Structure 1
Amino acid sequence: MARAENKETAGPVARMVAELARTLRLRRGWTQEQLGHELGFSGAAVSAMETLAQPASDEMLVKLEEVLGEGMGIFEGARKYMRLEKYPVQFQNYSLLEQEAVVLRLYATLVIHGLFQTEAYARALIGGGYPPLPEARVEELVEARLARKVLFEREPVALIEVVLEESVLQRVIGSPEIIREQMQYLAQCARRRNVTLQVLPLDTGLCGEHPGDNGPMELVETPQHDHLVYLEIQYQSLLISDPAKVSTYAQRYAKIRAQALGPRESLGLIERLAGEHR
Protein backbone atom coordinates (compact mmCIF):
# COMPACT_ATOMS: atom_id res chain seq x y z
CA MET A 1 0.00 0.00 0.00
CA ALA A 2 1.35 3.42 -0.98
CA ARG A 3 1.96 5.89 1.83
CA ALA A 4 2.18 9.67 1.57
CA GLU A 5 5.04 9.80 4.09
CA ASN A 6 7.18 7.73 1.73
CA LYS A 7 7.51 10.80 -0.48
CA GLU A 8 9.38 12.55 2.32
CA THR A 9 11.44 9.62 3.58
CA ALA A 10 12.39 7.93 0.29
CA GLY A 11 16.14 7.50 -0.09
CA PRO A 12 18.36 8.72 -2.93
CA VAL A 13 18.31 5.39 -4.79
CA ALA A 14 14.51 5.29 -4.81
CA ARG A 15 14.49 8.86 -6.11
CA MET A 16 17.03 8.05 -8.81
CA VAL A 17 15.04 5.00 -9.95
CA ALA A 18 11.81 7.02 -10.07
CA GLU A 19 13.36 9.84 -12.10
CA LEU A 20 15.13 7.50 -14.51
CA ALA A 21 12.03 5.37 -15.05
CA ARG A 22 9.93 8.46 -15.73
CA THR A 23 12.51 9.88 -18.16
CA LEU A 24 12.81 6.62 -20.11
CA ARG A 25 9.02 6.18 -20.14
CA LEU A 26 8.47 9.66 -21.57
CA ARG A 27 11.24 9.13 -24.13
CA ARG A 28 9.21 6.23 -25.47
CA GLY A 29 6.01 8.26 -25.40
CA TRP A 30 4.31 5.86 -22.99
CA THR A 31 1.70 6.70 -20.39
CA GLN A 32 1.96 5.25 -16.91
CA GLU A 33 -0.75 2.78 -17.86
CA GLN A 34 1.24 1.66 -20.92
CA LEU A 35 4.40 1.15 -18.93
CA GLY A 36 2.42 -0.71 -16.30
CA HIS A 37 1.07 -3.04 -18.97
CA GLU A 38 4.61 -3.78 -20.19
CA LEU A 39 5.83 -4.40 -16.63
CA GLY A 40 2.85 -6.47 -15.51
CA PHE A 41 1.85 -3.82 -12.96
CA SER A 42 -1.03 -1.38 -12.80
CA GLY A 43 -0.74 2.21 -13.95
CA ALA A 44 -1.39 3.20 -10.35
CA ALA A 45 1.64 1.18 -9.24
CA VAL A 46 3.81 2.97 -11.80
CA SER A 47 2.46 6.32 -10.59
CA ALA A 48 3.22 5.37 -6.98
CA MET A 49 6.78 4.43 -7.96
CA GLU A 50 7.38 7.64 -9.91
CA THR A 51 5.93 9.86 -7.17
CA LEU A 52 7.75 7.89 -4.41
CA ALA A 53 4.47 7.05 -2.70
CA GLN A 54 5.65 3.42 -2.99
CA PRO A 55 9.29 2.99 -4.11
CA ALA A 56 9.96 0.24 -6.63
CA SER A 57 9.88 -3.29 -5.24
CA ASP A 58 12.59 -5.78 -6.11
CA GLU A 59 10.17 -7.45 -8.54
CA MET A 60 9.44 -4.12 -10.26
CA LEU A 61 13.15 -3.35 -10.61
CA VAL A 62 13.66 -6.68 -12.40
CA LYS A 63 10.87 -5.82 -14.85
CA LEU A 64 12.11 -2.23 -15.30
CA GLU A 65 15.50 -3.63 -16.30
CA GLU A 66 13.86 -5.87 -18.88
CA VAL A 67 11.56 -3.21 -20.32
CA LEU A 68 13.48 0.06 -19.95
CA GLY A 69 17.03 -0.96 -19.08
CA GLU A 70 18.38 -0.65 -22.61
CA GLY A 71 21.27 -2.93 -21.69
CA MET A 72 22.69 -0.43 -19.18
CA GLY A 73 22.08 -2.58 -16.11
CA ILE A 74 21.11 0.46 -14.05
CA PHE A 75 17.88 -0.95 -12.61
CA GLU A 76 19.59 -4.29 -11.94
CA GLY A 77 22.42 -2.52 -10.15
CA ALA A 78 19.93 -0.52 -8.10
CA ARG A 79 18.39 -3.65 -6.56
CA LYS A 80 21.09 -4.08 -3.92
CA TYR A 81 20.97 -0.44 -2.88
CA MET A 82 17.17 -0.30 -2.86
CA ARG A 83 17.18 -3.23 -0.44
CA LEU A 84 19.71 -1.33 1.65
CA GLU A 85 17.38 1.67 1.92
CA LYS A 86 14.57 -0.56 3.18
CA TYR A 87 16.55 -1.72 6.20
CA PRO A 88 16.23 0.06 9.55
CA VAL A 89 18.67 2.96 9.75
CA GLN A 90 20.85 1.33 12.41
CA PHE A 91 21.38 -1.73 10.18
CA GLN A 92 22.07 -0.08 6.82
CA ASN A 93 25.82 0.47 7.16
CA TYR A 94 26.36 -3.06 8.46
CA SER A 95 24.24 -4.82 5.84
CA LEU A 96 26.83 -4.43 3.08
CA LEU A 97 29.55 -5.78 5.37
CA GLU A 98 27.35 -8.79 6.11
CA GLN A 99 26.75 -9.51 2.43
CA GLU A 100 30.45 -9.30 1.56
CA ALA A 101 31.79 -11.13 4.64
CA VAL A 102 34.22 -14.01 4.30
CA VAL A 103 33.36 -15.31 7.76
CA LEU A 104 30.46 -14.49 10.09
CA ARG A 105 30.42 -15.59 13.72
CA LEU A 106 27.03 -14.90 15.28
CA TYR A 107 25.61 -15.15 18.79
CA ALA A 108 21.84 -14.68 19.23
CA THR A 109 20.23 -14.44 22.65
CA LEU A 110 16.60 -13.29 22.20
CA VAL A 111 15.28 -14.42 18.80
CA ILE A 112 16.46 -16.49 15.84
CA HIS A 113 19.14 -14.56 13.97
CA GLY A 114 17.72 -12.71 10.95
CA LEU A 115 19.74 -14.75 8.44
CA PHE A 116 18.05 -17.93 9.67
CA GLN A 117 14.45 -16.74 9.97
CA THR A 118 11.60 -18.13 7.89
CA GLU A 119 9.23 -15.71 6.21
CA ALA A 120 6.42 -16.48 8.66
CA TYR A 121 8.67 -16.10 11.70
CA ALA A 122 10.08 -12.80 10.41
CA ARG A 123 6.59 -11.46 9.69
CA ALA A 124 5.31 -12.43 13.15
CA LEU A 125 8.37 -10.92 14.81
CA ILE A 126 8.40 -7.66 12.86
CA GLY A 127 4.61 -7.31 12.88
CA GLY A 128 4.48 -7.89 16.62
CA GLY A 129 7.04 -5.23 17.52
CA TYR A 130 6.39 -1.93 19.27
CA PRO A 131 5.53 0.69 18.29
CA PRO A 132 3.30 -1.08 15.73
CA LEU A 133 4.28 -0.58 12.09
CA PRO A 134 1.97 -0.08 9.10
CA GLU A 135 1.37 -3.35 7.26
CA ALA A 136 3.15 -2.02 4.17
CA ARG A 137 6.28 -1.30 6.22
CA VAL A 138 6.11 -4.76 7.82
CA GLU A 139 6.04 -6.38 4.39
CA GLU A 140 8.88 -4.14 3.22
CA LEU A 141 11.05 -5.17 6.18
CA VAL A 142 10.19 -8.86 5.76
CA GLU A 143 11.18 -8.70 2.09
CA ALA A 144 14.44 -6.96 2.97
CA ARG A 145 15.25 -9.51 5.68
CA LEU A 146 14.64 -12.47 3.40
CA ALA A 147 16.81 -10.88 0.71
CA ARG A 148 19.79 -11.26 3.04
CA LYS A 149 19.67 -15.02 2.47
CA VAL A 150 21.51 -14.63 -0.84
CA LEU A 151 24.58 -14.86 1.39
CA PHE A 152 23.98 -18.63 1.67
CA GLU A 153 24.31 -19.12 -2.07
CA ARG A 154 26.94 -16.49 -2.84
CA GLU A 155 30.21 -17.32 -4.56
CA PRO A 156 32.74 -17.42 -3.05
CA VAL A 157 30.84 -19.08 -0.24
CA ALA A 158 30.77 -17.43 3.18
CA LEU A 159 31.53 -19.47 6.29
CA ILE A 160 28.86 -18.89 8.94
CA GLU A 161 29.05 -19.92 12.57
CA VAL A 162 26.03 -19.25 14.77
CA VAL A 163 25.39 -19.94 18.44
CA LEU A 164 21.78 -19.71 19.60
CA GLU A 165 20.69 -19.59 23.22
CA GLU A 166 18.42 -22.56 23.96
CA SER A 167 15.83 -20.10 25.26
CA VAL A 168 15.59 -18.66 21.74
CA LEU A 169 14.45 -22.03 20.44
CA GLN A 170 11.81 -22.35 23.15
CA ARG A 171 10.34 -18.88 22.71
CA VAL A 172 7.12 -19.13 20.68
CA ILE A 173 6.83 -16.33 18.12
CA GLY A 174 3.54 -16.17 16.23
CA SER A 175 2.22 -19.69 16.75
CA PRO A 176 3.34 -23.28 17.37
CA GLU A 177 3.00 -23.91 13.61
CA ILE A 178 5.34 -21.03 12.82
CA ILE A 179 7.88 -22.29 15.36
CA ARG A 180 7.71 -25.83 14.01
CA GLU A 181 8.42 -24.56 10.50
CA GLN A 182 11.22 -22.41 11.90
CA MET A 183 12.83 -25.37 13.68
CA GLN A 184 12.62 -27.45 10.51
CA TYR A 185 14.27 -24.66 8.54
CA LEU A 186 16.99 -24.28 11.17
CA ALA A 187 17.71 -27.99 10.86
CA GLN A 188 18.08 -27.58 7.08
CA CYS A 189 20.46 -24.67 7.60
CA ALA A 190 22.51 -26.66 10.11
CA ARG A 191 23.15 -29.30 7.44
CA ARG A 192 24.74 -26.80 5.06
CA ARG A 193 28.46 -27.40 4.61
CA ASN A 194 29.26 -23.71 5.14
CA VAL A 195 27.17 -23.41 8.33
CA THR A 196 28.07 -24.48 11.86
CA LEU A 197 25.10 -24.17 14.20
CA GLN A 198 25.38 -24.70 17.95
CA VAL A 199 23.02 -24.26 20.88
CA LEU A 200 24.07 -22.81 24.22
CA PRO A 201 22.18 -24.81 26.89
CA LEU A 202 19.87 -23.23 29.44
CA ASP A 203 22.00 -24.53 32.29
CA THR A 204 25.09 -22.61 31.13
CA GLY A 205 26.13 -20.63 34.17
CA LEU A 206 25.44 -23.35 36.75
CA CYS A 207 29.14 -23.41 37.46
CA GLY A 208 29.16 -19.64 37.88
CA GLU A 209 30.49 -18.79 34.43
CA HIS A 210 28.45 -17.49 31.47
CA PRO A 211 30.58 -15.70 28.84
CA GLY A 212 27.50 -14.68 26.85
CA ASP A 213 25.71 -12.79 29.59
CA ASN A 214 26.51 -9.41 27.99
CA GLY A 215 24.20 -10.05 25.05
CA PRO A 216 24.34 -10.82 21.32
CA MET A 217 27.24 -10.05 19.01
CA GLU A 218 28.35 -10.52 15.42
CA LEU A 219 31.99 -10.95 14.42
CA VAL A 220 32.84 -10.23 10.79
CA GLU A 221 35.87 -11.02 8.67
CA THR A 222 35.88 -8.90 5.51
CA PRO A 223 37.31 -9.87 2.09
CA GLN A 224 40.35 -7.76 3.06
CA HIS A 225 40.60 -9.91 6.23
CA ASP A 226 39.79 -7.03 8.55
CA HIS A 227 37.99 -8.12 11.71
CA LEU A 228 35.01 -6.16 13.02
CA VAL A 229 32.32 -6.55 15.68
CA TYR A 230 28.71 -5.45 15.26
CA LEU A 231 26.40 -4.91 18.24
CA GLU A 232 22.73 -3.97 18.10
CA ILE A 233 20.16 -3.44 20.85
CA GLN A 234 16.97 -1.39 21.17
CA TYR A 235 17.28 0.04 17.62
CA GLN A 236 20.81 1.29 18.32
CA SER A 237 23.95 -0.16 16.78
CA LEU A 238 27.70 -0.03 17.18
CA LEU A 239 30.41 -1.16 14.76
CA ILE A 240 33.76 -1.84 16.45
CA SER A 241 37.04 -1.93 14.54
CA ASP A 242 39.62 -1.33 17.29
CA PRO A 243 41.85 -4.48 17.19
CA ALA A 244 42.17 -4.77 20.97
CA LYS A 245 38.42 -4.59 21.51
CA VAL A 246 37.71 -6.94 18.62
CA SER A 247 40.15 -9.42 20.12
CA THR A 248 38.29 -9.34 23.44
CA TYR A 249 34.99 -10.08 21.71
CA ALA A 250 36.61 -12.88 19.71
CA GLN A 251 37.91 -14.48 22.91
CA ARG A 252 34.45 -14.16 24.46
CA TYR A 253 32.85 -15.75 21.42
CA ALA A 254 35.34 -18.63 21.52
CA LYS A 255 34.38 -19.28 25.15
CA ILE A 256 30.68 -19.22 24.26
CA ARG A 257 31.25 -21.79 21.51
CA ALA A 258 33.25 -23.97 23.88
CA GLN A 259 30.33 -24.09 26.32
CA ALA A 260 27.73 -24.76 23.61
CA LEU A 261 26.50 -28.16 22.51
CA GLY A 262 28.37 -29.65 19.56
CA PRO A 263 26.86 -29.29 16.07
CA ARG A 264 25.46 -32.85 16.05
CA GLU A 265 23.91 -32.53 19.51
CA SER A 266 22.53 -29.12 18.58
CA LEU A 267 20.90 -30.49 15.43
CA GLY A 268 19.33 -33.30 17.46
CA LEU A 269 17.88 -30.79 19.94
CA ILE A 270 16.43 -28.67 17.13
CA GLU A 271 14.84 -31.70 15.48
CA ARG A 272 13.34 -32.75 18.82
CA LEU A 273 11.90 -29.31 19.42
CA ALA A 274 10.43 -29.29 15.91
CA GLY A 275 8.64 -32.52 16.76
CA GLU A 276 7.20 -31.08 19.97
CA HIS A 277 5.38 -28.25 18.15
CA ARG A 278 2.63 -30.42 16.66
Structure 2
Amino acid sequence: MPAPTVRLRRLASELRQLRKAADLTRDELAERTGINVATLYRIETARVRPQARTLAALLDAYGVVDPKRSELMTLLKQSTHRGWLNTFASDLPERYTSYIEFENEASEVLNYECLFIPGLLQTESYARAAIGGTLPECTRDEIESRVEARMRRQAVLTKDQPLKLWAIVDEAALRRAVGGRDVMREQLEHLIRVTELPTVHLQVIPFDAGAHPGMPGSFVVMNFAEPMGPDIVYIDSQAGDLFLEEEPDISRYNLVFTHLRAGALSPSASTSLIAAAAGGMRPGRGA
Protein backbone atom coordinates (compact mmCIF):
# COMPACT_ATOMS: atom_id res chain seq x y z
CA MET A 1 0.00 0.00 0.00
CA PRO A 2 1.45 3.42 -0.95
CA ALA A 3 2.37 5.61 1.99
CA PRO A 4 -0.05 8.52 2.55
CA THR A 5 0.97 12.07 1.77
CA VAL A 6 1.64 14.48 4.62
CA ARG A 7 -1.57 16.36 3.89
CA LEU A 8 -3.63 13.17 3.97
CA ARG A 9 -2.08 12.31 7.34
CA ARG A 10 -2.93 15.78 8.60
CA LEU A 11 -6.53 15.45 7.36
CA ALA A 12 -6.83 12.08 9.12
CA SER A 13 -5.47 13.60 12.33
CA GLU A 14 -7.95 16.49 12.14
CA LEU A 15 -10.87 14.09 11.63
CA ARG A 16 -9.83 11.95 14.59
CA GLN A 17 -9.69 15.04 16.79
CA LEU A 18 -13.10 16.25 15.58
CA ARG A 19 -14.72 12.90 16.35
CA LYS A 20 -13.21 12.82 19.82
CA ALA A 21 -14.29 16.42 20.44
CA ALA A 22 -17.83 15.41 19.42
CA ASP A 23 -17.61 12.50 21.90
CA LEU A 24 -18.60 9.95 19.26
CA THR A 25 -17.41 6.40 18.77
CA ARG A 26 -16.91 5.13 15.23
CA ASP A 27 -20.00 2.95 15.67
CA GLU A 28 -22.09 5.98 16.64
CA LEU A 29 -20.67 7.98 13.77
CA ALA A 30 -21.45 5.16 11.35
CA GLU A 31 -25.11 5.25 12.45
CA ARG A 32 -25.30 9.01 11.89
CA THR A 33 -23.57 9.12 8.50
CA GLY A 34 -24.18 5.71 6.93
CA ILE A 35 -20.42 5.31 6.44
CA ASN A 36 -19.33 1.87 7.61
CA VAL A 37 -16.96 1.52 10.54
CA ALA A 38 -14.16 -0.06 8.51
CA THR A 39 -14.16 2.88 6.10
CA LEU A 40 -14.13 5.35 8.98
CA TYR A 41 -11.12 3.56 10.46
CA ARG A 42 -9.25 3.68 7.14
CA ILE A 43 -10.02 7.39 6.73
CA GLU A 44 -8.88 8.23 10.26
CA THR A 45 -5.64 6.30 9.82
CA ALA A 46 -4.91 7.81 6.36
CA ARG A 47 -5.25 4.40 4.69
CA VAL A 48 -7.66 5.85 2.15
CA ARG A 49 -8.43 9.29 0.77
CA PRO A 50 -12.10 10.11 1.42
CA GLN A 51 -14.33 11.31 -1.39
CA ALA A 52 -15.47 14.92 -1.14
CA ARG A 53 -19.05 13.90 -0.32
CA THR A 54 -17.80 11.57 2.42
CA LEU A 55 -15.76 14.33 3.98
CA ALA A 56 -18.75 16.68 3.73
CA ALA A 57 -20.93 14.14 5.56
CA LEU A 58 -18.36 13.83 8.35
CA LEU A 59 -18.06 17.59 8.73
CA ASP A 60 -21.85 17.87 8.84
CA ALA A 61 -21.94 15.29 11.63
CA TYR A 62 -19.35 17.28 13.58
CA GLY A 63 -21.06 20.61 12.93
CA VAL A 64 -17.98 22.07 11.27
CA VAL A 65 -18.56 25.41 9.51
CA ASP A 66 -16.35 27.91 7.69
CA PRO A 67 -13.55 28.80 7.83
CA LYS A 68 -12.52 25.39 9.27
CA ARG A 69 -14.77 23.55 6.83
CA SER A 70 -13.21 25.22 3.79
CA GLU A 71 -9.73 24.59 5.20
CA LEU A 72 -10.37 20.84 5.46
CA MET A 73 -12.01 20.60 2.05
CA THR A 74 -8.97 22.37 0.56
CA LEU A 75 -6.69 20.00 2.46
CA LEU A 76 -8.51 17.09 0.80
CA LYS A 77 -7.92 18.58 -2.65
CA GLN A 78 -4.23 19.04 -1.86
CA SER A 79 -3.78 15.57 -0.37
CA THR A 80 -2.39 14.08 -3.57
CA HIS A 81 -0.11 17.04 -4.32
CA ARG A 82 3.62 16.25 -4.40
CA GLY A 83 5.04 19.60 -5.56
CA TRP A 84 8.29 19.32 -7.53
CA LEU A 85 8.12 15.54 -7.19
CA ASN A 86 5.56 15.44 -10.00
CA THR A 87 8.56 15.91 -12.33
CA PHE A 88 9.85 12.51 -11.19
CA ALA A 89 6.52 10.71 -10.86
CA SER A 90 7.35 7.99 -13.39
CA ASP A 91 11.01 7.58 -12.41
CA LEU A 92 10.96 7.22 -8.62
CA PRO A 93 9.37 4.46 -6.52
CA GLU A 94 6.17 5.50 -4.72
CA ARG A 95 7.72 4.87 -1.31
CA TYR A 96 10.69 7.11 -2.12
CA THR A 97 8.48 9.98 -3.27
CA SER A 98 6.48 9.60 -0.05
CA TYR A 99 9.71 9.73 1.94
CA ILE A 100 10.81 12.92 0.17
CA GLU A 101 7.48 14.58 0.80
CA PHE A 102 7.55 13.67 4.49
CA GLU A 103 11.10 14.99 4.71
CA ASN A 104 10.08 18.26 3.05
CA GLU A 105 7.29 18.80 5.61
CA ALA A 106 9.22 17.60 8.69
CA SER A 107 10.51 20.08 11.25
CA GLU A 108 13.36 17.84 12.39
CA VAL A 109 15.07 14.70 11.11
CA LEU A 110 17.20 12.32 13.19
CA ASN A 111 19.24 10.18 10.78
CA TYR A 112 21.57 7.34 11.71
CA GLU A 113 23.64 5.76 8.93
CA CYS A 114 25.98 2.84 9.39
CA LEU A 115 27.45 2.60 5.86
CA PHE A 116 26.45 5.69 3.87
CA ILE A 117 26.78 9.44 4.16
CA PRO A 118 23.24 10.75 4.84
CA GLY A 119 21.43 11.63 1.62
CA LEU A 120 20.89 15.26 2.63
CA LEU A 121 24.66 15.68 3.04
CA GLN A 122 25.85 13.89 -0.10
CA THR A 123 27.69 15.50 -2.99
CA GLU A 124 26.43 14.81 -6.50
CA SER A 125 29.41 12.60 -7.37
CA TYR A 126 29.07 10.56 -4.18
CA ALA A 127 25.31 10.18 -4.71
CA ARG A 128 25.84 8.97 -8.27
CA ALA A 129 28.42 6.40 -7.16
CA ALA A 130 26.35 5.24 -4.19
CA ILE A 131 23.14 4.85 -6.19
CA GLY A 132 24.85 3.16 -9.12
CA GLY A 133 26.77 0.81 -6.84
CA THR A 134 23.81 -0.28 -4.71
CA LEU A 135 21.18 -0.48 -7.49
CA PRO A 136 22.90 -2.36 -10.33
CA GLU A 137 19.54 -3.00 -12.01
CA CYS A 138 18.94 0.72 -12.60
CA THR A 139 19.56 2.22 -16.04
CA ARG A 140 21.78 5.26 -16.43
CA ASP A 141 18.71 7.48 -16.87
CA GLU A 142 17.13 6.08 -13.70
CA ILE A 143 20.32 6.70 -11.76
CA GLU A 144 20.49 10.29 -13.00
CA SER A 145 16.85 10.85 -12.06
CA ARG A 146 17.53 9.65 -8.52
CA VAL A 147 20.66 11.77 -8.28
CA GLU A 148 18.75 14.87 -9.37
CA ALA A 149 15.99 14.15 -6.85
CA ARG A 150 18.56 13.69 -4.08
CA MET A 151 20.23 16.99 -4.89
CA ARG A 152 16.88 18.81 -4.95
CA ARG A 153 15.98 17.30 -1.57
CA GLN A 154 18.85 19.21 0.00
CA ALA A 155 17.00 22.51 -0.43
CA VAL A 156 15.23 21.71 2.88
CA LEU A 157 18.46 22.61 4.68
CA THR A 158 18.50 26.20 3.37
CA LYS A 159 14.82 27.12 2.90
CA ASP A 160 13.22 29.96 4.88
CA GLN A 161 12.37 27.64 7.76
CA PRO A 162 15.14 25.07 7.35
CA LEU A 163 14.88 21.49 8.42
CA LYS A 164 16.79 20.69 11.59
CA LEU A 165 19.03 17.74 10.82
CA TRP A 166 20.87 15.72 13.45
CA ALA A 167 22.88 13.03 11.72
CA ILE A 168 25.02 10.29 13.24
CA VAL A 169 27.24 8.08 11.09
CA ASP A 170 29.42 5.12 11.87
CA GLU A 171 33.08 5.69 11.03
CA ALA A 172 32.70 2.98 8.38
CA ALA A 173 30.70 5.46 6.29
CA LEU A 174 33.70 7.79 6.25
CA ARG A 175 36.30 5.17 5.41
CA ARG A 176 34.60 3.42 2.48
CA ALA A 177 35.86 5.11 -0.70
CA VAL A 178 32.53 5.27 -2.55
CA GLY A 179 33.27 6.43 -6.10
CA GLY A 180 37.02 6.32 -5.52
CA ARG A 181 39.37 8.33 -3.33
CA ASP A 182 38.88 11.68 -5.11
CA VAL A 183 35.08 11.48 -4.89
CA MET A 184 35.28 10.45 -1.26
CA ARG A 185 37.71 13.21 -0.34
CA GLU A 186 35.39 15.77 -1.95
CA GLN A 187 32.48 14.27 -0.01
CA LEU A 188 34.27 14.45 3.33
CA GLU A 189 35.36 18.03 2.74
CA HIS A 190 31.75 18.87 1.87
CA LEU A 191 30.64 17.39 5.21
CA ILE A 192 32.91 19.78 7.06
CA ARG A 193 31.45 22.76 5.18
CA VAL A 194 27.80 21.80 5.46
CA THR A 195 28.00 21.27 9.20
CA GLU A 196 28.69 24.99 9.51
CA LEU A 197 24.94 25.46 8.95
CA PRO A 198 23.38 26.23 12.36
CA THR A 199 20.61 23.65 11.85
CA VAL A 200 22.90 20.77 10.85
CA HIS A 201 24.62 18.64 13.50
CA LEU A 202 26.82 15.68 12.65
CA GLN A 203 28.42 13.15 14.96
CA VAL A 204 30.58 10.13 14.22
CA ILE A 205 30.70 6.85 16.13
CA PRO A 206 34.38 5.81 15.95
CA PHE A 207 35.52 2.27 15.41
CA ASP A 208 36.99 2.09 18.89
CA ALA A 209 33.54 2.69 20.43
CA GLY A 210 32.94 -1.01 19.93
CA ALA A 211 29.42 -2.44 19.74
CA HIS A 212 26.59 0.08 19.76
CA PRO A 213 22.77 0.15 19.36
CA GLY A 214 22.92 1.28 15.73
CA MET A 215 24.69 -1.80 14.43
CA PRO A 216 21.46 -3.59 13.40
CA GLY A 217 20.89 -0.97 10.70
CA SER A 218 20.24 2.60 9.57
CA PHE A 219 17.04 4.50 10.27
CA VAL A 220 15.43 7.94 10.11
CA VAL A 221 13.07 9.54 12.63
CA MET A 222 11.00 12.40 11.20
CA ASN A 223 9.41 14.82 13.62
CA PHE A 224 6.50 17.01 12.52
CA ALA A 225 5.18 20.24 13.96
CA GLU A 226 1.46 20.33 14.66
CA PRO A 227 -0.86 19.84 12.90
CA MET A 228 0.98 17.72 10.33
CA GLY A 229 0.35 14.47 12.17
CA PRO A 230 2.36 11.95 14.18
CA ASP A 231 6.09 11.37 13.78
CA ILE A 232 7.43 8.65 11.47
CA VAL A 233 10.29 6.18 11.53
CA TYR A 234 11.65 5.19 8.12
CA ILE A 235 13.76 2.09 7.50
CA ASP A 236 15.31 1.25 4.13
CA SER A 237 16.34 -2.39 3.66
CA GLN A 238 16.82 -5.06 1.02
CA ALA A 239 13.34 -6.31 1.93
CA GLY A 240 11.83 -2.93 1.06
CA ASP A 241 11.11 0.46 2.56
CA LEU A 242 9.15 0.58 5.79
CA PHE A 243 7.28 3.43 7.50
CA LEU A 244 6.48 3.01 11.21
CA GLU A 245 3.93 5.31 12.85
CA GLU A 246 2.95 3.51 16.07
CA GLU A 247 4.01 5.25 19.29
CA PRO A 248 5.98 2.23 20.68
CA ASP A 249 8.09 2.17 17.49
CA ILE A 250 8.67 5.93 17.57
CA SER A 251 9.71 5.76 21.23
CA ARG A 252 12.04 2.80 20.64
CA TYR A 253 13.93 4.46 17.81
CA ASN A 254 14.12 7.79 19.64
CA LEU A 255 15.69 5.92 22.55
CA VAL A 256 18.20 4.21 20.25
CA PHE A 257 19.12 7.59 18.75
CA THR A 258 19.59 9.05 22.22
CA HIS A 259 22.05 6.25 23.06
CA LEU A 260 23.86 6.76 19.76
CA ARG A 261 24.16 10.50 20.36
CA ALA A 262 25.61 9.86 23.82
CA GLY A 263 28.11 7.30 22.53
CA ALA A 264 29.28 9.27 19.49
CA LEU A 265 32.08 11.81 19.36
CA SER A 266 31.10 15.42 19.96
CA PRO A 267 30.38 17.48 16.80
CA SER A 268 33.79 19.19 17.04
CA ALA A 269 35.68 15.92 17.60
CA SER A 270 33.65 14.40 14.75
CA THR A 271 34.76 17.20 12.44
CA SER A 272 38.38 16.45 13.35
CA LEU A 273 37.89 12.77 12.53
CA ILE A 274 36.24 13.65 9.20
CA ALA A 275 39.16 15.94 8.35
CA ALA A 276 41.61 13.15 9.15
CA ALA A 277 39.65 10.72 6.98
CA ALA A 278 39.67 13.26 4.13
CA GLY A 279 43.44 13.59 4.46
CA GLY A 280 43.73 9.84 4.23
CA MET A 281 41.97 9.94 0.86
CA ARG A 282 44.67 12.09 -0.74
CA PRO A 283 46.92 10.46 -3.37
CA GLY A 284 49.62 8.35 -1.84
CA ARG A 285 47.95 8.18 1.57
CA GLY A 286 46.41 5.11 3.21
CA ALA A 287 42.71 5.28 4.10
TM-score range with shorter-chain normalisation?
A: 0.5 to 0.7
2:174 equivalent in structure 1: 169
Amino acid at match of 1:239: F
* Distance in 2, Cα, partners of 1:223 & 1:117: 26
2:148 equivalent in structure 1: 143
* Distance in 1, Cα, partners of 2:111 & 2:135: 25
1:269 equivalent in structure 2: 273
How far is 1:114 from its partner?
Answer: 1.1
Give matches, 1:216-235, under 5 Å.
216-224=218-226, 226-234=230-238
Q: Contact 1:84 / 1:95 at 8 angstroms: preserved in 2?
A: no
* Distance in 2, Cα, partners of 1:97 & 1:263: 26
1:260 aligns with 2:255: no
How far is 1:81 from its partner?
Answer: 2.4
Amino acid at match of 2:243: L
SS in 2 for 1:203: helix
Give matches, 1:177-192, under 5 Å.
177-192=182-197
1:213 aligns with 2:215: yes
1:129 aligns with 2:134: yes
Amino acid at match of 1:151: V
Query: How has the CA–CA distance of structure 1 residues 244 and 262 changed in structure 2, closer, same or farther, with 3 Å as cutoff?
Result: same
1:9 equivalent in structure 2: none
SS in 2 for 1:229: strand
Give matches, 1:42-53, under 5 Å.
none
How far is 1:138 from its partner?
Answer: 1.4
1:80 aligns with 2:82: no
User: TM-score scaled by structure 1?
Assistant: 0.68
Q: Contact 1:180 / 1:274 at 8 angstroms: preserved in 2?
A: yes
Note the alpha carbon deviations across 1:111-157, whole angstroms, 9 max, x for none: 11111110111111222234332211111111111110111111212
Give matches, 1:148-163, under 5 Å.
148-163=153-168
Give matches, 1:1-12, under 5 Å.
none
| Count of aligned pairs | 199
2:121 equivalent in structure 1: 116
Amino acid at match of 2:245: S
2:76 equivalent in structure 1: none
> Identity of counterpart residues, as a percentage?
32
Amino acid at match of 1:131: P
* Distance in 1, Cα, partners of 2:160 & 2:133: 35
Note the alpha carbon deviations across 1:26-79, whole angstroms, 9 max, x for none: xxxxxxxxxxxxxxxxxxxxxxxxxxxxxxxxxxxxxxxxxxxxxxxxxxx953
Q: Contact 1:107 / 1:216 at 8 angstroms: preserved in 2?
A: yes
Amino acid at match of 1:252: V
Any gaps of 5 or more consecutive residues in structure 2?
1-81, 283-287
1:55 equivalent in structure 2: none
How far is 1:198 from its partner?
Answer: 0.2
User: TM-score scaled by structure 2?
Assistant: 0.66
2:207 equivalent in structure 1: 202
Any gaps of 5 or more consecutive residues in structure 1?
1-76
* Distance in 1, Cα, partners of 2:91 & 2:170: 28
SS in 1 for 2:147: helix
Q: Contact 1:90 / 1:235 at 8 angstroms: preserved in 2?
A: no
